[in-house]
Amino acid sequence: GTVNCSNLVVSFCGDDAFDIDLGYHGKGQFWLGINNGDSDKALEMSGGLQPIPSLRNNLPVIYNVTLVGNPDTKAAPLIDISSHAGGFIMNSIFLEAEQGIGLYYTEKPGDSYSLFQSGRLALYNNILFPATDSVPAFYAYSDLSMDLTAQNHVMADSLAAWGNSYEDPGVSAVNGYSLLPPATVFENMAPYSNGWFEQVTYKGAFGSNQWIEGWTLLYESGYIKKN
What local confidence, expressed as pLDDT, does residue 2 receive? 80
140 pLDDT more than 90? yes
> Over the range 26-54, which residues count as b (16 or more CB within 10 Å of their CB) and which as e?
bbbbbbbbbbbeebbbbbbbbbeeebeee
Mean pLDDT lowest among 15-29, 128-142, 188-202: 128-142
183 pLDDT more than 70? no
Say what percent of the chain tops pLDDT 90: 56
Q: Are 25 and 55 in contact (CB under 8 A)?
A: yes
What kind and span of H or E run contains 109?
none
What local confidence, expressed as pLDDT, does residue 172 receive? 84
What local confidence, expressed as pLDDT, does residue 51 receive? 66
d(CA 135, CA 157): 15
Q: What is the mean pLDDT of the chain?
A: 88
Q: Are 111 and 85 in contact (CB under 8 A)?
A: no
User: Average pLDDT in the 186-196 region?
Assistant: 93
What is the end-to-end Cα distance of the chain in Å, rounded?
A: 37
71 pLDDT more than 90? no
Q: Are 102 and 131 in contact (CB under 8 A)?
A: no
Sign of the C-alpha dihedral computed for residues 167, 151, 191 and 194 taken in this order: negative
